[in-house]
Structure 1
């Protein structure tokens, strides 16, 4: 029997806006209103806006730590602005932290609040209008977005830079130059040549494009075969080697998604149809060793592995019980890290996405996972015996979340282990010593080459010094080195590294 204080997801809505003229585009809060109304309608509950006591919003990418400031003002209290637009009065308003893990993080918090009685009926909503924002910026148009809604906004979580100053100086800034470092480390673990691995990546992401081609809210509803994804062409240049353009998350989208979650007691009181109810059977949040250069391994994630075990234990599921997946897919390496850590069979025929993934469905900034959970709800409702798993990720495979969903009722006391308890395992793990002033001979653990439209621009390596095995990160920008890195194998290659007059660690190939 389902207990009255069990959290249950009962409504979902998604919208995608494709408009060429930014002056005609809806602003983020209006897209959130639109997807929220769809989620409210999805519950079949009349006058639900009068019953919502909590509104949580996912932080906009332009309002996130390290994000570029847009050509318009910032919303002072997005969840309050949304509540006002919907006619929700007196609700508590919360705003999530930076990170693609945020939607699941907020679902987990709301579930705890519902269990404790702090919340009864909640709306979670988010949107990104990065496409319109960029178009407006290019045209020099001020959109006029932003407002001061007043009210008390409660910020959840914490803000922290994605890496150390030394990492940022050496290219650990934009994800397009960081996830390829994981990819080449994975390639080395698999003992793939560059050509073999590109073919492998194309085959891995081909099914994602197929799913995206059939999703009504996809930004790119286009099927691409493996060869098209992996082959460099005029429209598919290298970005961060070995990734081609078609392997990268696309943030220039206008998309919004919203979810209604409430207690089982309220769902019964409001006569929410049982075939609308989706239960969170297991969940967890965890952070990887925060700084990339301090991680013991760059080809695997012990944090995701531990997180998965905690969520599966809570649900009393095995990974083989899962029928539907949506693994966070900003880049191929994120899918691979998740698949291996969760011990999903590489021979499984189950697609690893229900949306099509961030490169094809759309990489809606911090809010993508609201779309994946909403889509998972829709898929689970088609067969109430199915079980689904969604993962989430922020920064550089740094912040992780997981949710296990099913229409199968959750029985017993809904309670999860507090993340702080198992976070200790990661925080107390051994990690390499990082030398920020490396000098001498070394060996390359992994590498990438950041490419612009005209070709290679900067090489980045993470390696170990031969004299003491300390970790280092270094860069190179000379044409000869970049050309060699694009054409030859550099994993486990000898190199030399030293500081230049600008305080940058520069490497040369042996």
Structure 2
């Protein structure tokens, strides 16, 4: 473990806190802000927000070290010592039984209770919503929310066969409560065919968006490349972003040596970047406590409202793959609770693990995708600013706070997403003191009342492909195909086909299932994608690429939900199962 020093040397100079020894007078405390005398003293306020990037080769630096560094960047030591609740976002780089205990000890928060969380990119905003309720009710006085990942360092050590010498907590340390909170990540149908990675599922949403929009593959890829290019431009101006390069759209949507295809239509630069070492901390308290601790009010940011909700975790049961009732209901409700419209928020950060997540959320909430005066990110997104697993939104909230205090009177919207467009959390923030108490509302019953689609796990028959994706290996060959298929009764089934480097035709008598056949209704509508290099797209690999369909006309017959071995392509894609 790295030494517990005041400000770690790896913290960039421009991110190190400046602590003043002078007492802040009442007039100085409220510079730039008029705090109404009628303001409830228990009004929640965000008073500290710190971020840190660890770019140097320092294998001794572990996640808790980054949390300590971010905490010291967020708040004065006396504020940290006043923390009575430490809540840690679930981390994947290392296992601690109670990471909050380690952090509390390092920042000398002797009386702090600790809590851990389940997984999900929604967690940081959910923690803010919960903290605001606890502060209002008096269950907490000063809440610190922290998260960090050293995935880049851990991956490099693992590649060299080195085990990190990081802090281990033995069984004498009780596990912090909350680690197993949350809803499941996927349903039976998804798990059965191993459709269990974000890099596979979100491209399925993307294809559904394309088909619903009536776009060709090239039109669509160019458009989402332009969307992501705008995100990269924001990251280039964000001092906390992992990548500071603005990337042209063509370099994003076209595969290349440093931008391989991951799963059609997404290249590497359309995926979240988890190869980062990043940490972020948020500190919330009440107006009364902030005044007592003499925290300058020109750093205050007020959470106005928050909502949480989740869609059905079974992807196959969602009514449409390009819609999210939970985002529509909870995202619009948080704006109503805050008393603003979507047009009235000055800054927005839409959770951006993949382009489809941004497009679905923007459509459901009513946010323009290409408004040059208001990008849909303040950080640059998970590809360019960094995607530290569950903790990205801690960074987006911290960056949002910086943008708001730099523009007094402004308001911002944060959206957060966990799982496969499954778990959602929203928050509206501003620098002006609120005219009402922090508002939150449970909208889950409304979401649960939305229509779903019948899922047929063992469907046998003929159906219509509504979406698909083909994961692509590092050598540029398509590995398999995942498909969402509508049955004649308008139910849905999910299917997977598998390739083999040495395919062989199987006799129907020895096959594990009935024949599985894809016959495009019109050959001109079936394009060969992804763009596999010449000489590699032979046999089953070329077949796997043939699932592209610029309409919804491709039809499938056979037993969906089985794993199939494709035969070489001749007159059309086919497979013996």
TM-score by length of 1: 0.92
State the Cα distance separating 1:347 from its structure 2 match: 5.0
**Matches of 1:101 and 1:192, distance apart in 2:** 30
**Matches of 1:272 and 1:110, distance apart in 2:** 19
Equivalences for residues 330-369 of structure 1 within 5 A: 330-349=353-372, 350-369=374-393
**Matches of 1:107 and 1:124, distance apart in 2:** 8
Residue aligning to 2:473: 452
Residue aligning to 1:465: 487
Residue aligning to 2:514: none
Residue aligning to 1:103: 124
Say if 2:89 and 2:124, in contact at 8 Å, map to a contact too.
Answer: yes
Residue aligning to 2:454: 433
**Matches of 1:431 and 1:144, distance apart in 2:** 48
Deviations 1:309-367, CA, capped at 9 Å, x for gaps: 22112111111101101100000000001110110134522111111100011111000
Deviations 1:431-473, CA, capped at 9 Å, x for gaps: 221111121111011111111112210111001112x222100
Equivalences for residues 42-121 of structure 1 within 5 A: 47-62=78-93, 74-121=95-142
**Matches of 1:262 and 1:27, distance apart in 2:** 28
Deviations 1:157-195, CA, capped at 9 Å, x for gaps: 724431123312323211000000000000011110000
**Larger CA deviation: 365-374 vs 274-283:** 274-283
* Structure 2 residues without counterparts, runs of 5 or longer: 1-37, 500-539, 567-571
**Larger CA deviation: 111-120 vs 491-500:** 491-500
Question: Which of 475, 482, 497 in structure 1 is aligned with 2:544?
Answer: 482
Question: Which of 189, 196, 200 in structure 2 is aligned with 1:166?
Answer: 189
Say if 1:286 and 1:303, in contact at 8 Å, map to a contact too.
Answer: yes
State the Cα distance separating 1:504 from its structure 2 match: 3.8
**Matches of 2:370 and 2:200, distance apart in 1:** 29
Say if 2:227 and 2:369, in contact at 8 Å, map to a contact too.
Answer: no
Residue aligning to 1:122: 143
**Matches of 2:371 and 2:565, distance apart in 1:** 43
Residue aligning to 1:292: 315
Equivalences for residues 145-224 of structure 1 within 5 A: 145-148=166-169, 150=173, 153-155=176-178, 158-224=181-247
Deviations 1:4-43, CA, capped at 9 Å, x for gaps: 11100011110001134x53x41000110000111113xx
State the Cα distance separating 1:411 from its structure 2 match: 2.3
Q: What secondary structure is seen at the aligned counterpart in 1 of 2:494?
A: strand
State the Cα distance separating 1:427 from its structure 2 match: 1.9
Residue aligning to 1:267: 290
Q: What secondary structure is seen at the aligned counterpart in 2 of 1:224?
A: coil
**Matches of 1:214 and 1:345, distance apart in 2:** 21
Residue aligning to 2:401: 377
Say if 1:288 and 1:426, in contact at 8 Å, map to a contact too.
Answer: yes
Q: What secondary structure is seen at the aligned counterpart in 1 of 2:51?
A: strand
Say if 2:51 and 2:70, in contact at 8 Å, map to a contact too.
Answer: yes
Residue aligning to 1:34: 69
Q: Go from structure 1 to structure 2 and tell me whether the alpha carbon gap of 1:346 and 1:207 turns closer, same or farther (over 3 Å shift).
A: closer
Q: What secondary structure is seen at the aligned counterpart in 1 of 2:322?
A: coil
**Matches of 2:573 and 2:550, distance apart in 1:** 11
**Matches of 2:237 and 2:165, distance apart in 1:** 35
Tell me the C-alpha RMSD between the 2 structures. 1.9
Q: Count matched residues.
A: 487
Q: Go from structure 1 to structure 2 and tell me whether the alpha carbon gap of 1:84 and 1:195 turns closer, same or farther (over 3 Å shift).
A: same
Deviations 1:178-223, CA, capped at 9 Å, x for gaps: 0000000000111100000011011111111111112222222111
**Matches of 1:319 and 1:160, distance apart in 2:** 28
**Matches of 1:194 and 1:411, distance apart in 2:** 48
Q: Go from structure 1 to structure 2 and tell me whether the alpha carbon gap of 1:152 and 1:224 turns closer, same or farther (over 3 Å shift).
A: closer
Q: Go from structure 1 to structure 2 and tell me whether the alpha carbon gap of 1:123 and 1:190 turns closer, same or farther (over 3 Å shift).
A: same
Say if 2:463 and 2:486, in contact at 8 Å, map to a contact too.
Answer: yes
Higher relative contact order (CA 8 A, sep 6+): 1
**Matches of 2:440 and 2:560, distance apart in 1:** 48
Say if 1:80 and 1:151, in contact at 8 Å, map to a contact too.
Answer: no
* Structure 1 residues without counterparts, runs of 5 or longer: 63-69
TM-score by length of 2: 0.81
Q: Go from structure 1 to structure 2 and tell me whether the alpha carbon gap of 1:504 and 1:146 turns closer, same or farther (over 3 Å shift).
A: farther
